[in-house]
Structure 1
Amino acid sequence: MSEYQYYEFTALDQALTARQQSELRSLSTRADITATSFVNTYEWGDFKGDPRTLMERYFDAHLYLANWGTRRLMLRLPKAVLDPATTAEYCVGDSAFAWTSGKHLIVCLNREDEDGTDEWDIDGHGILGSVIPARSDLAAGDLRLLYLGWLRCAQSGELRDDEPEPAVPAGLGTLSASLTAAADFLCIDPDLIAAAADRSAATDASEPTDAQLRQWVTALPAGDKDAILAALITGTDRQLRGQLLRRYRTEHPPRPTTPARTAGQLLSAAADRRAEREHQLAARQERDRIRQ
C-alpha cells in the first residue's frame, strides 16, 4: 500500500435527505453513505469533493487522516452558540482557522507533517466519534478546544514569539476524554499543554451553578420563557442549551484574569518541562541499572 487517506463526515443536527445522499454518491461510488455519515478510504487516487464545501452544505463534523502526516478536524456550529469574534481570538494561523457560512461557523484544526516521515500503522475509524462530544462542550461555552487549536499554531511555529496568548480556559489540566482524543489526533505536545495549564483554574469560576441558573431563569421575561419552552417541546432548536448558556455568560462576564503569556514563553516552558522529565527518566534508568 503506497498511501492511505481516510475521510469521514458526520451530520449531527439534521439528517441528510435522500437527495443529499444522492448528491454525495456522485462524488464517490465506493463511500459508505448513510443519513448521517460519509466515510471513505483511499489507497490510490484522491477524493473528488471539497471538504469545505461539504461542511458548508451537509455536515457538522469532519476528520481527515493521511499517512504522510496530514491530519484535519472540522466542526460546524451555529453562530448563535459560537461567537465568530471569540473564535477569531484562538484561530489565528494555518493550524487553526475558522470561517462563516450562512448561519454557521466552521472551525478547522490542522496538523501537517513536521519531520517528513510517513505513518503506516494508522487507522482513522473511530477517531471522529471520540472527538465529537467536544463539539457539544464548545457549543455550551467550553473554549478549551479552541485554546488547543491556538497551541497547535504555536507548536507549528506560526506565531511570533511575542504573540500574546488568548484567554486561558479553566480545566486545561484535566482534559475530558474527547479533548484528549483531539489533542492526541492533532499531535499537540503534552508538555506544552501542561505548561499552559499552569494558568488554568481547576474549575471554571464562571460556570454557573444550578442555583444561579434557576435564579436567572426565574428573572427572564415571560415571552423569553415561552419561546424557550416552545423550542424545547417542538425540538426545532437542537442547540438550545448552548444558546442559553452563551446568553447567561454574556450577561455575567468573567472577572479579569492574570496577564497573558506569549507564545515564546509557553514554548520555552514546555521545553524546560520536557528537559526536566527526560533528566528524571535518565536518572531513574541509571539507578535501575546500578541496582541490577
Structure 2
Amino acid sequence: MSEYQYYEFTAVDRFLTTREQAELRSLSTRADITATSFVNTYQWGDFKGDPRKLMERYFDAHLYLANWGTRQLMLRLPTRALAPATVARYCVGDGASAWTAGKHLIVHLYREDEEGTDEWDLDGHGLLASITPVRAALAAGDLRLLYLGWLRCVQSLELDDDEPEPPAPAGLGTLDASLTTVAEFLCIDPDLIAAAAAASAQAAVEPTAAQLRSWVTSLSVREKDAILADLLSGDGHLRGRLLRRYRDEHLPDTSTTSALRTAGELLATAAHLRAERERQVAEQRERERIRQERSAAAARQRHLDALAVDQPAAWQRVNELISTKKPRDYDTGVQLLVDLRDLSERDGNTTPFRQRLAELRTVHARKPSLLERLERAGLNV
C-alpha cells in the first residue's frame, strides 16, 4: 500500500509576495500554492522543506498528517499577542513545545501513534481551516489550546506522575468547534479532558457592545490614538489584544491556580471516568438486549397465536412448499415446521406434531436436501 502524507500551511496576517511564492515553488513542483497557502499530498517520497523554517519565515498555521499515525499542528503569533512566559507553562514536552523566531512565537502540538497503527481513510483537506480560529482566540487570552497541548504530553506519558498541572483555563468542559477539532486531531482522550474540566470554571460571558463602548469611552486620548495607529498599520491581532485587556481589567481570573492536580492524578481520574462510562454503556446495552429479547418473544407469541387459528392450513402450506422441490421453498417450509413444533410445545401437546412430522419424513425420504434441512432445524422424530 502507498503512503499518505498531507502538508498544509496558511498565511493569516499577510499575503505572500510573488517572490515568496516562487521560493516555495522551488520546494515542490506539485504543491498548490496561493498568496495565502501551500498544500501538498504525498503518496510516495517526502517533502523537501522544513516545516519549522517555513513557519518562521512565511506562515501562521501548519497542519501535517501521515497515515502511520503522526500528526502535528503549528501556530505562529506575534509575541506581543502571546507572551512566551505564558506558553512555557503549558508547552513542556514533545507533545507541546514552543519557540520564538524574531517577533513571533510558534506553538507546536504533536502526536505520534505509539502503537504504529496505519490509517488508510485519511483526508487532511479542510482540517486546518476548522482549526485556525483557535489562533485568534489564543491571541485574545483563551489558553485552552495550550492546556490541551499539556494534556497531550500527559497522555503520552512524557511527564512524571507528580508533575503539577498549569492553571486550568475556564471553559474546558465546553470546547468550541475549533478546539474540539484540535482535540480529535491530536487524539486527546475525551476522558482525560473531562477529568481536567472538573476543576475548570465556566467560560466567561462575552462582553456586550454597550460594555465595550463604555470601556472605550473611558480610555485616555493617548490610548485611543495608539489603538487607531495600530489599526491603520494593519495589526491583525488588535481586536484580540483589546479583548484580552478588557477581560483582565473587568473579569475575575477564572483559571484554576490553587490545589493544582498532578499528571498522575488526572490520568487516574480519567481511568475512573472511562471505567464508569464503559460500565454505564454495558448496562445500557444489557437493558437494550433484554428489551429486544422481550419484544422478540412477544412478537413470537403473537405469531404462534395467529398460526394456532388454522393449523390444518399451515400443514397444507408445508406440503405445497416441499412439493416444489425448490431450495428456497424448502427453507420456508422447514421454518413453518419449526413454528408448528414450537406451537405444540407451548400448548403442551407434541404427540400430533411428531406423528405428522414422521409421516412427512417417510413420504419425502428420497429428498436428501430436505432431510438435511430438517436435521439442521432439529426436526427429528
The TM-score range, normalised by the shorter chain, is over 0.9
Q: Which residue of 1 aligns with 2:219?
A: 220
Mind listing any 5+ residue stretches in structure 2 that lack a counterpart? Answer: 294-381
Aligned length: 290
User: Structure 1 residue 204: deviation in Å?
Assistant: 2.6
**Aligned pair 1:187/2:157, yes or no?**
no
- Describe the superposition over 1:175-225 as per-residue Cα deviations: whole angstroms up to 9, x where unpaired: 1000000000000000111111111112237x6565554444333221121
Instruction: Report 1:116-265 matches (<5 A).
Output: 116-204=116-204, 213-232=212-231, 234-249=232-247, 254=253, 257=256, 258-265=258-265
- Describe the superposition over 1:235-290 as per-residue Cα deviations: whole angstroms up to 9, x where unpaired: 52111112223334555672774311111111100000100111111122222223
SS of 1:28's partner is coil
Q: Which residue of 2 aligns with 1:73?
A: 73
The amino acid that maps onto 2:221 is A
Distance in 1 (CA, whole Å) between partners of 2:189 and 2:29 is: 38
Q: Which residue of 1 aligns with 2:272?
A: 272
TM-score (norm 1): 0.94
Q: Which residue of 1 aligns with 2:354?
A: none
Instruction: Report 1:34-73 matches (<5 A).
Output: 34-73=34-73
The amino acid that maps onto 1:171 is G
Say whether the 8 Å CA contact 1:33–1:39 is kept in structure 2.
yes
Cα RMSD of the aligned pairs, angstroms, is 1.7
Distance in 1 (CA, whole Å) between partners of 2:254 and 2:184 is: 31
Distance in 1 (CA, whole Å) between partners of 2:278 and 2:45 is: 42
Distance in 2 (CA, whole Å) between partners of 1:75 and 1:35 is: 18
Instruction: Calculate percent identity across the aligned residue pairs.
Output: 73
SS of 2:89's partner is helix
- Describe the superposition over 1:73-116 as per-residue Cα deviations: whole angstroms up to 9, x where unpaired: 00000111111000000111000000000110000000101222
Q: Which residue of 1 aligns with 2:12?
A: 12
Distance in 2 (CA, whole Å) between partners of 1:120 and 1:131 is: 22
Mind listing any 5+ residue stretches in structure 1 that lack a counterpart? Answer: none
Distance in 1 (CA, whole Å) between partners of 2:209 and 2:32 is: 43
TM-score (norm 2): 0.73
- Structure that is richer in helix per residue: 2
Greater gyration radius: 2
User: Structure 1 residue 117: deviation in Å?
Assistant: 1.2
Distance in 1 (CA, whole Å) between partners of 2:77 and 2:104 is: 5
Q: Choose between structure 1 and 2 for higher RCO, CA contacts under 8 A separated by at least 6 residues.
A: 1
Q: Which residue of 2 aligns with 1:86?
A: 86
Q: Which residue of 1 aligns with 2:307?
A: none
